[in-house]
Chain A
Amino acid sequence: MSEHQGAAVSHGVDPARIARRGSAAGQSWVARLLPSDPLGWLVLAFIVAALFSALIYAPTEATMGDVQRIFYFHVPSAWVGFLSFGIVFVASIQWLRTKRPWWDALAASAAEVGVMFTTVALVTGSIWAKPTWGTWWDWDPRLTTTLILWLVYVSYAMLRSMVENPAKRASLAAVVGILGFIDVPVVFMSIRWWRTIHPVVISGAGMDLDPSMVTTLMICLTTFTLLQLHILRLRLHLELQRDDARRLRDLILED
């Protein structure tokens, strides 16, 4: 092992791995958006199926009309938001236990993806609320707890951008990531614990929906779960590359 390789290993840097990871640098960013793996193509196929189911296959709801179709993408957006924050929770615990940078990179990536999908859930909910409730926003328990959840993870991202030291940043963010997750079951249970105007679709008696609506919802939930996994994978790759760049920078400055 050369002197340089020894230094690289002591800093957790494998220069050969970094060289391989950077091999797609010549590709344009538009080319990189196109599916390059089976998961990407699967996501694309599911998006087509979800759009067909939500816009054509599912019957028009008798009271709300076509506005109800927003539900097929609003609920999955909220679901993958919760799922992402669940990943932040697990990854944060794993970081505190093992101090492996991969877990911190996963937590940071999942938090950003979660904020994106929760933003979509909040905005689409608001668009649905206007024709249905007659207002864009109501301080209803479900809406309020979801907004708090969104603010917690926006704060998480801001905290990460403010702390320079990587280990300190990861540990502080992990604490926020773990504590912030407490709000997820509160959001889910809010429509059961408090009086609310938010619709209750899934109750103790199952789903109060037409079978074709349930099928459509399941297709859309699967689509968004696959989409979230695909985006999370891309975002994690970016975070790991940032870590590589930081370690290489440190190594060059030390030499």
Chain B
Amino acid sequence: MGGILPGGKIDMGSLTYLFAAFTVIWLAVLLYSFSIASRQKSVQRELEMLKAIVEERDPERLGG
């Protein structure tokens, strides 16, 4: 990575934008993955509950 201006100074302005963009990208991917995982957990909990109701009515049904 460059980021060095003539005279040996670090181009902080350029690096700030780069850091902001990379943060947005990976935060979005991470938050979206968390959102899928948390929604999946809630659906699985509901599925377990529904399966328990079905099993209670007919135990052979979910046995495969």
- Show the binding face of A for B, using Cβ within 8 Å: 2, 4-5, 8, 15-16, 18-22, 24-25, 29-30, 32-33, 55-56, 59-60, 64-67, 69-70, 73-74, 77, 116, 119-120, 123-124, 127-128, 130-131, 227, 231, 234-235, 237-238, 241-242, 244-245, 248-249, 251-252, 255
Contacts and interface: CB of A to CB of B under 8 A. Distances in A.
A252 B53 CA distance: 8
Interface in B28-64: 28-29, 32-34, 36-41, 43-48, 50-51, 53-54, 57-58, 60-64
Contact of B44 (A25, A65, A119): A25
Contacts of B25: 73, 77, 120, 124
A245 B33 contact: no
Interface residues of B, number: 42
26 contacts: A2-B58, A4-B61, A16-B63, A19-B62, A19-B64, A20-B64, A25-B44, A25-B45, A29-B34, A29-B38, A32-B37, A33-B34, A67-B17, A69-B18, A70-B21, A116-B28, A120-B25, A124-B24, A127-B20, A127-B21, A131-B13, A231-B36, A238-B36, A245-B47, A245-B50, A248-B50
Contact of A130 (B17, B22, B44): B17
A50 to B, nearest CB: 11
Contacts of B63: 16, 19
Interface of B is mostly: helix
A25 to B, nearest CB: 4
A22 B28 CA distance: 27
Contacts of B40: 29, 32, 234, 237-238, 241
3 closest A-B pairs by beta carbon, nearest first, are: A60-B2, A16-B64, A29-B37
Interface centre among A16, A18, A238 (most CB of B within 10 A): A238
Contacts of B11: 65-66
B17 A127 contact: yes
A104 B36 CA distance: 18
